[in-house]
Amino acid sequence: MIDPYLWLEELDSADVLPWVDERNAETLGALGGEGFTRLKDAIREVLDSKDRISFPGWRGDGFYYDFWRDADHPRGLWRRTTLDQFRRDEPDWDVLLDVDALNAAEDENWTWSGVTVLRPGYGRCLISLARGGSDAVVVREFDLVDRVFVTDGFVLPEAKTDVDWIDADHIYVATDFGPGSLTSSGYARVVKQWQRGTPLAEAETVFAGEPDDVLISAGHDPTPGYERDYVIRRVEFFRTQYYLRRAGGELVLVDLPEDADFDVHREWMLVRLRSPWLSYPAGALLATGFEEFLAGEREFTVLFRPDPSTSLVSYSWTRNHLLLVTMTDVVTRVHALTPGAPEWTSRPLPGTAEFGTTWIVDTDPENDDAYLIASEGFLQPATLSLGSVGGEVTVLKRAPAFFAADDLAVRQFFAESADGTRVPYFVVGGDGKGPALLTGYGGFEIPLTPNYSGVRGRGWLARGGTYVLANIRGGGEYGPAWHQAALRENRSRAYEDFAAVAGDLVARGITTPERLGITGGSNGGLLMGVMLTRYPELFGAVVAGVPLLDMRRYTKLLAGKSWIAEYGDPDVEADWAFIREYSPYQNVQPDRPYPPALFITSTRDDRVHPGHARKMMALLRQHGYESLLYENVEGGHGAAADNEQAATKEALTLEFLWRKLSPDEA
C-alpha cells in the first residue's frame, strides 16, 4: 500500500509547516471560547502557583538543589539553599542559573535538561540545555562559585549526549562524533575520555558498540576508597552489558544476565532480576560483595522476593542502609534494610497512605543516612519529609490543595481481561453523574500509581467528572512478569486489559460508552490509537498525546529502533504479522463508529516523530471521521516547553473531552 501522507513525515518543510499551522488554527478555533480560556487560566494558576512545593535533590555538598518554573520564570531557575532555609515558608534561594535571562542574553530558546556536578569539590558542573525541549542537548561547563559558564571549558554541540565527570580535568563523553558514531536508534555508539584543553577530536576512545545497539555510555563513581569506572552497553531496551574499567583501560565484563539491572555502593553489589537466574526468581533483588563477585563467588542474599501481588518499585542507598520501595496491588510501602551477617535486617519507614504513592525523593549516600521522602494520593496533596534511618521523620513541606475533595472518593476495582487476568484500576470521583476519563500506559515496565494533580482536579473532577487509572499489563505494577506478558506478539493483552476496564466501568454503572473518554501519551498514545480503531464502540472521545501510531514505519523514525524489543521489528515478516493486527494507522477503516479524536504532538519531539499524529489525523479525515490535531512547535516529547504551553495542551485535552462527552453541559 502506498502511504498518501508520507510527506507529513518531513519535519518542517515548506509544505508541512503551513499544513500544521492550519490544523492548529482549526483546533484552537473549534475548542476556543470563554470556557476554554477560563479552564486554561485555572490550569495556569496551578502550574504557576508559588505555593507549590519543590522536591529538591542533594549533590553531596550540603545544599538542597532545585529547578523551578513559575509565571515570572517560565523557562526556570536552577537554584539551591540550605536545610535551615528550606524549612522556612519562604526560603532564601541562591539562584545559580536563570534560564530566561540566559535566553534573553543569547537570543535562544533554551530549556533546562539536567546537570552533572563534579564530585568531590562541587565547584564545577556540566549543564545540559535543549532547544525547545528536545532530547538533543548542548553541554556547557559552569562555574558554581562565579555563576558563569567557563571560558574555554568543556563544551559539546547539540546532540543526544551523555557525559560524566572523571575528575576536574577529564570527562566521559558519549555523543555524535561524526559519521558512524551513532547507533541506528540515533544515540551514541562511541564513548570517549576527553581531557581538558585538548580538542574533542583527540579524545581517547574508551569503547565502541555495534551499530544496532541502543546506546553506549560510561560513568565514574567518586566515592572515596571505592573509586570505580564503568562502561554501559545497552544492547536492547532491556538488555545491557556492564563493564568495569580498570585503571589501565582494561574492560572487565560483569558476568550477569543481560536483562538484569546492576548497581554498586561501596563494597556492596545489587542485582535486580527480570528473569530467573541461578536459583533466584524474576523480580528479585539480590546483594553480595562486589569484589567477591568479581573473584567468582555467586552466593547472594535475597533482599526482596516478589509474590503475585507485590513487586519492587525502586531502591536508594543511604550511607549505611538500603531503602526499598515496594508495591502491593499498586499501593506502595517503604522499608529500610541494614547490611549484616548472617542476614540483613528490615524495618518499615513511616509516611505511606491508603491508595497513595510514597517515593524516595533523594538520599546522600556518600555522607549520611538522611533521606527525603514524599507521599501523595489522588485526593491528598504531596507531603515532603526529612528522615534519617533509625531516627525521626520531620515534615518539611505540605503541598497546597487546588480543588475541593471532601465529596470525592477513591475506590479500587479489578476487571477481568479476555484471558481471565485480574486487572486493577482506580476510580476517583463523586456521584458519577458527569463524564468519565480513563487513562493508561501499559509499556516498558513503567507503573502508573496514584498521584495528586491540581490540573486534573480543577479541570475534570471539580466539574463533576470521574477519573479512572488503569494498571494494564505491559507496565510494571506487578514487576517484570506484568511487563513481559504484553511484549511483542502478546501486545494485544495490554489492549484487551484496557478494553476490559472500560467494559467493567459500564457494567458497574460508573459510566456509559458515550460518556467515557480516554487519554494517554507516548506508548499510551499508541494505546489510544488501538482503542480508537479496535474498540471504537467502547468510547465517546479519544485524545492521544505524542503518540506512536504508524507501527509499519516506527523503526525508521527518530528513536524508533530502540523499541524493537518492546514491539517487534516490522521489517521482519513474522513480527509484522502480529504488529499489523493492531497498528492504528494501518487499521483505519471506512464506515466504523470511530469516536472523535484529538492528537497532540510537538515539532521538536525528537523521540516520537510528529509524523505519527499528523498522518493519523489526516487519514481519519480522509474517511470522514472527526479528527483534530494540535502541534506545539516546542516542547520535545513532553509537547510543552513552559507552563503557558503546558496549560494550553492540558486545556485542549480536557475541553475537547468534556465537550464531546457532555455536549449539553459544555
Q: What residues act catalytically?
A: 522, 637
Question: What residue spans of 58-139 are helical by DSSP H?
Answer: 83-86, 99-106
Q: How far is CA 386 from the centre of its chain?
A: 25
How many CB atoms are closer than 10 A to CB 580? 13
d(CA 342, CA 23): 66
Q: C-alpha 112: how far from its chain's center?
A: 16
- 547 grid coordinates: 503518540
Strand order of the sheet with strand 383-388? 356-363, 370-377, 383-388, 393-398
CA 181 to chain centre: 26
Q: Other CB atoms closer than 10 Å to residue 152's CB: what's the count?
A: 8
Q: What is the CA radius of gyration of the chain?
A: 25
First-residue to last-residue Cα distance in the chain: 41
Query: What gap in Å lies between CA 528 and CA 546, rounded to an integer?
Result: 11
Q: Which residues contact 103 (CB under 8 A, 6 or more apart)?
A: 75, 109, 110
Q: Which residue has the cell 505524542?
A: 546
Check: CB of residue 464 under 8 Å from CB of residue 433. Answer: yes
Cα torsion angle, 18, 23, 24, 28, sign: positive
C-alpha angle with apex 252: 251 to 254, nearest 5 degrees? 135
Whole-angstrom distance, CA of residue 433 vs CA of residue 627: 27
Strand residues in 318-463 grouped as ranges (E): 322-328, 331-338, 345-348, 356-363, 370-377, 383-388, 393-398, 409-416, 422-429, 436-439
SS3 504: helix
Contact 129, 107 (CB under 8 A): no
Question: Cα 326 to the chain's mean position, in Å?
Answer: 19
- Which residue type occupies 384? L
Return the closest-CA partner of residue 525 out of 513, 542, 509.
542
Contact between 287 and 268 (Cβ < 8 Å) = yes
CA distances from 647 to 71, 650, 652 (A): 12, 5, 8
Sequence letter at residue 358? T
Alpha helices in 289-339 (DSSP H): 290-294
Helices vs strands, H then E, count in the chain: 13, 37
- Measured at the CA of 200, the angle between CA 198 and CA 204, to 5 degrees, comes to 85
Instruction: List all residues 6 or more positions away from 665 whose beta carbon is below 8 Å from its beta carbon.
Output: 434, 658
Q: Give the start-end residues of each E strand in 430-580.
A: 436-439, 466-470, 516-521, 541-545
Q: What is the largest CA-CA distance in the chain?
A: 73
In a 13 Å sphere around the CA of 148, the CA atoms on its Cβ side amount to 5
